[in-house]
Protein backbone atom coordinates (compact mmCIF):
# COMPACT_ATOMS: atom_id res chain seq x y z
CA UNK A 1 0.00 0.00 0.00
CA UNK A 2 1.41 3.39 -0.95
CA UNK A 3 2.23 5.60 2.00
CA UNK A 4 2.00 9.32 2.62
CA UNK A 5 2.65 11.73 5.47
CA UNK A 6 -0.20 14.16 6.14
CA UNK A 7 0.39 17.34 8.13
CA UNK A 8 -2.53 17.31 10.55
CA UNK A 9 -3.13 20.31 12.80
CA UNK A 10 -6.67 19.29 13.68
CA UNK A 11 -8.24 22.14 11.76
CA UNK A 12 -10.80 22.02 8.97
CA UNK A 13 -8.27 22.24 6.13
CA UNK A 14 -5.82 19.59 7.31
CA UNK A 15 -8.61 17.20 8.32
CA UNK A 16 -10.18 17.51 4.87
CA UNK A 17 -6.76 16.92 3.33
CA UNK A 18 -6.33 13.78 5.46
CA UNK A 19 -9.76 12.50 4.40
CA UNK A 20 -8.83 13.18 0.77
CA UNK A 21 -5.55 11.24 1.01
CA UNK A 22 -7.38 8.29 2.58
CA UNK A 23 -10.01 8.42 -0.19
CA UNK A 24 -7.19 8.13 -2.74
CA UNK A 25 -6.07 4.83 -1.25
CA UNK A 26 -3.05 5.99 0.73
CA UNK A 27 -1.91 4.54 4.00
CA UNK A 28 -1.55 7.80 5.89
CA UNK A 29 0.90 8.71 8.64
CA UNK A 30 -0.41 11.93 10.20
CA UNK A 31 2.21 14.29 11.62
CA UNK A 32 1.14 16.82 14.22
CA UNK A 33 3.69 19.40 15.29
CA UNK A 34 3.07 21.35 18.46
CA UNK A 35 4.99 24.58 18.06
CA UNK A 36 3.86 26.48 21.10
CA UNK A 37 0.84 27.84 19.28
CA UNK A 38 -1.85 29.34 21.47
CA UNK A 39 -4.49 27.07 20.08
CA UNK A 40 -3.13 23.91 21.70
CA UNK A 41 -6.82 23.06 21.60
CA UNK A 42 -6.15 22.05 17.99
CA UNK A 43 -3.87 19.23 19.13
CA UNK A 44 -6.72 17.53 20.95
CA UNK A 45 -8.66 17.71 17.71
CA UNK A 46 -5.76 16.24 15.72
CA UNK A 47 -5.65 13.27 18.06
CA UNK A 48 -9.42 12.78 17.89
CA UNK A 49 -9.40 12.93 14.08
CA UNK A 50 -6.62 10.32 13.81
CA UNK A 51 -8.48 8.08 16.26
CA UNK A 52 -11.69 8.52 14.28
CA UNK A 53 -9.92 6.94 11.30
CA UNK A 54 -8.33 4.20 13.40
CA UNK A 55 -4.85 5.28 12.30
CA UNK A 56 -2.05 3.19 13.78
CA UNK A 57 0.91 5.53 13.54
CA UNK A 58 0.19 9.16 14.43
CA UNK A 59 3.44 11.05 15.02
CA UNK A 60 3.22 14.00 17.40
CA UNK A 61 6.25 16.13 18.12
CA UNK A 62 7.11 19.36 19.89
CA UNK A 63 9.08 22.27 18.56
CA UNK A 64 9.56 25.35 20.67
CA UNK A 65 9.19 28.31 18.31
CA UNK A 66 8.62 30.90 21.02
CA UNK A 67 11.70 32.76 19.76
CA UNK A 68 9.65 33.75 16.71
CA UNK A 69 8.48 36.73 18.70
CA UNK A 70 6.75 38.62 15.90
CA UNK A 71 3.79 36.26 15.48
CA UNK A 72 0.52 36.22 17.39
CA UNK A 73 0.48 32.43 17.07
CA UNK A 74 3.80 31.83 18.83
CA UNK A 75 4.13 34.83 21.14
CA UNK A 76 1.79 35.86 23.92
CA UNK A 77 3.04 39.44 23.46
CA UNK A 78 1.24 39.83 20.12
CA UNK A 79 -2.56 39.87 20.18
CA UNK A 80 -4.68 37.83 17.77
CA UNK A 81 -6.84 40.44 16.02
CA UNK A 82 -10.59 40.31 16.67
CA UNK A 83 -12.68 41.71 13.90
CA UNK A 84 -16.27 42.56 13.19
CA UNK A 85 -16.41 40.94 9.79
CA UNK A 86 -14.37 39.52 6.94
CA UNK A 87 -14.28 42.98 5.37
CA UNK A 88 -11.78 43.98 8.05
CA UNK A 89 -9.26 41.40 6.89
CA UNK A 90 -6.64 43.31 4.96
CA UNK A 91 -4.56 42.15 2.05
CA UNK A 92 -1.37 42.52 4.08
CA UNK A 93 0.49 39.65 5.68
CA UNK A 94 -1.20 39.42 9.11
CA UNK A 95 0.35 39.18 12.60
CA UNK A 96 -0.70 35.54 12.68
CA UNK A 97 1.97 34.87 10.03
CA UNK A 98 4.55 32.59 11.66
CA UNK A 99 7.90 33.17 9.92
CA UNK A 100 8.76 30.16 7.73
CA UNK A 101 6.00 28.07 9.35
CA UNK A 102 5.09 25.87 6.39
CA UNK A 103 8.75 25.54 5.42
CA UNK A 104 9.46 24.18 8.89
CA UNK A 105 6.39 21.91 8.91
CA UNK A 106 7.13 20.49 5.45
CA UNK A 107 10.78 19.93 6.36
CA UNK A 108 9.94 17.83 9.38
CA UNK A 109 7.31 16.00 7.32
CA UNK A 110 9.99 15.30 4.70
CA UNK A 111 12.21 13.67 7.32
CA UNK A 112 9.33 11.48 8.47
CA UNK A 113 8.32 10.69 4.89
CA UNK A 114 11.83 9.44 4.08
CA UNK A 115 11.87 7.40 7.27
CA UNK A 116 8.59 5.58 6.58
CA UNK A 117 9.30 5.22 2.86
CA UNK A 118 6.40 7.46 1.85
CA UNK A 119 5.99 8.85 -1.64
CA UNK A 120 4.28 12.15 -0.84
CA UNK A 121 3.54 14.77 1.80
CA UNK A 122 0.00 16.11 1.94
CA UNK A 123 -0.50 19.63 3.28
CA UNK A 124 -3.76 21.54 3.72
CA UNK A 125 -2.30 24.78 2.36
CA UNK A 126 -4.80 27.08 0.72
CA UNK A 127 -4.04 29.98 -1.59
CA UNK A 128 -7.57 31.38 -1.81
CA UNK A 129 -8.59 32.23 1.74
CA UNK A 130 -5.02 32.22 2.93
CA UNK A 131 -4.99 35.72 4.39
CA UNK A 132 -1.75 36.65 2.67
CA UNK A 133 0.61 33.93 3.84
CA UNK A 134 3.51 33.65 1.38
CA UNK A 135 4.10 29.99 2.30
CA UNK A 136 0.67 28.94 1.01
CA UNK A 137 1.34 29.89 -2.61
CA UNK A 138 1.71 27.35 -5.45
CA UNK A 139 5.09 28.84 -6.37
CA UNK A 140 6.40 28.11 -2.87
CA UNK A 141 5.14 24.52 -2.86
CA UNK A 142 6.76 23.87 -6.22
CA UNK A 143 10.06 25.32 -5.00
CA UNK A 144 9.92 23.18 -1.88
CA UNK A 145 9.29 20.03 -3.89
CA UNK A 146 12.44 20.82 -5.85
CA UNK A 147 14.38 21.07 -2.57
CA UNK A 148 13.22 17.55 -1.72
CA UNK A 149 14.32 16.29 -5.13
CA UNK A 150 17.88 17.58 -4.75
CA UNK A 151 18.35 17.55 -0.97
CA UNK A 152 17.13 14.18 0.30
CA UNK A 153 18.36 10.62 -0.02
CA UNK A 154 15.02 9.62 -1.55
CA UNK A 155 15.39 12.38 -4.13
CA UNK A 156 18.97 11.65 -5.22
CA UNK A 157 18.14 7.95 -5.39
CA UNK A 158 15.36 8.62 -7.87
CA UNK A 159 12.34 8.42 -5.59
CA UNK A 160 11.58 12.14 -5.10
CA UNK A 161 8.92 12.97 -2.53
CA UNK A 162 5.95 14.87 -3.96
CA UNK A 163 4.24 17.74 -2.17
CA UNK A 164 0.46 17.45 -2.56
CA UNK A 165 -1.86 20.29 -1.66
CA UNK A 166 -5.29 19.09 -2.86
CA UNK A 167 -7.28 22.01 -1.44
CA UNK A 168 -4.83 24.70 -2.58
CA UNK A 169 -7.18 26.34 -5.06
CA UNK A 170 -10.49 25.68 -3.31
CA UNK A 171 -12.66 28.28 -1.62
CA UNK A 172 -13.59 27.59 2.00
CA UNK A 173 -17.08 26.62 0.82
CA UNK A 174 -15.59 24.07 -1.58
CA UNK A 175 -13.42 22.67 1.21
CA UNK A 176 -16.44 22.29 3.49
CA UNK A 177 -18.39 20.62 0.67
CA UNK A 178 -15.50 18.24 -0.04
CA UNK A 179 -15.19 17.37 3.65
CA UNK A 180 -18.92 16.63 3.77
CA UNK A 181 -18.71 14.46 0.64
CA UNK A 182 -15.80 12.50 2.12
CA UNK A 183 -17.66 12.17 5.43
CA UNK A 184 -14.75 13.82 7.30
CA UNK A 185 -15.33 14.23 11.06
CA UNK A 186 -15.89 17.99 10.97
CA UNK A 187 -17.35 17.98 14.48
CA UNK A 188 -13.90 16.99 15.79
CA UNK A 189 -11.98 19.78 14.03
CA UNK A 190 -10.81 23.09 15.48
CA UNK A 191 -9.87 26.22 13.56
CA UNK A 192 -10.09 29.11 16.05
CA UNK A 193 -6.83 30.98 16.75
CA UNK A 194 -7.89 31.47 20.37
CA UNK A 195 -7.45 28.65 22.83
CA UNK A 196 -10.89 28.66 24.47
CA UNK A 197 -13.32 25.79 24.96
CA UNK A 198 -15.62 27.35 22.37
CA UNK A 199 -14.49 28.98 19.12
CA UNK A 200 -14.38 32.79 19.36
CA UNK A 201 -16.21 33.40 16.08
CA UNK A 202 -14.29 36.63 15.48
CA UNK A 203 -10.69 35.79 14.53
CA UNK A 204 -9.71 35.50 10.84
CA UNK A 205 -9.77 31.74 11.03
CA UNK A 206 -13.27 31.58 12.58
CA UNK A 207 -14.66 34.16 10.16
CA UNK A 208 -13.34 32.30 7.12
CA UNK A 209 -14.60 28.97 8.45
CA UNK A 210 -18.08 30.30 9.23
CA UNK A 211 -18.34 31.92 5.81
CA UNK A 212 -17.30 28.61 4.25
CA UNK A 213 -20.04 26.67 6.01
CA UNK A 214 -22.56 29.40 5.20
CA UNK A 215 -21.66 29.49 1.50
CA UNK A 216 -21.76 25.68 1.35
CA UNK A 217 -25.26 25.77 2.84
CA UNK A 218 -24.19 23.81 5.90
CA UNK A 219 -24.13 24.37 9.64
CA UNK A 220 -20.80 24.27 11.47
CA UNK A 221 -21.10 21.56 14.14
CA UNK A 222 -18.48 23.24 16.37
CA UNK A 223 -19.72 25.39 19.31
CA UNK A 224 -19.11 29.17 19.19
CA UNK A 225 -18.86 31.72 21.99
CA UNK A 226 -21.38 34.10 20.46
CA UNK A 227 -23.65 33.80 17.47
CA UNK A 228 -21.64 35.29 14.65
Q: Which spans of this chain sit near a copy of itself (rule: CB under 8 A)? A: 59, 61-65, 67-70, 93, 97-104, 106-108, 110-115, 134-135, 137, 139-140, 143-144, 146-153, 155-156
Nearer to a copy of itself, 135 or 220 (CB): 135
CA dihedral of residues 89, 129, 77, 225 (deg, nearest 10) = 80
Nearer to a copy of itself, 10 or 30 (CB): 30
Tell me if residue 5 falls in helix, strand or coil. Answer: strand
Number of residues in the chain: 228
CB contact at 8 A, 39 and 65? no
Whole-number minimum distance, CB 11 to a copy of itself, in Å? 20
Nearer to a copy of itself, 39 or 101 (CB): 101
User: Kind of pairing, strands 162-164 and 120-122?
Assistant: parallel
CB contact at 8 A, 63 and 34? yes
Nearer to a copy of itself, 144 or 213 (CB): 144
Nearer to a copy of itself, 118 or 166 (CB): 118
Whole-number minimum distance, CB 19 to a copy of itself, in Å? 23
Find the angle CA(72)-CA(83)-CA(138) to the nearest 5 degrees.
60
Whole-number minimum distance, CB 28 to a copy of itself, in Å? 15
Whole-number minimum distance, CB 136 to a copy of itself, in Å? 9
Instruction: Give the Å distances, CA to CA, from 8 to 34, 67, 89, 123, 135.
Output: 11, 23, 25, 8, 17
Whole-number minimum distance, CB 153 to a copy of itself, in Å? 5
Tell me if residue 122 falls in helix, strand or coil. Answer: strand
Amino acid sequence: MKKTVVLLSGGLDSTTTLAYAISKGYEVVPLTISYGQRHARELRSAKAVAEHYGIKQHVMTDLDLSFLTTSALTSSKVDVPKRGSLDDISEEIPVTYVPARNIIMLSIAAGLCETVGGEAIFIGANAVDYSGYPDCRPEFLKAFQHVLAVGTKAGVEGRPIRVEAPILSMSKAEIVALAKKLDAPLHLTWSCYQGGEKACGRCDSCLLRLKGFHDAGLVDPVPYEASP
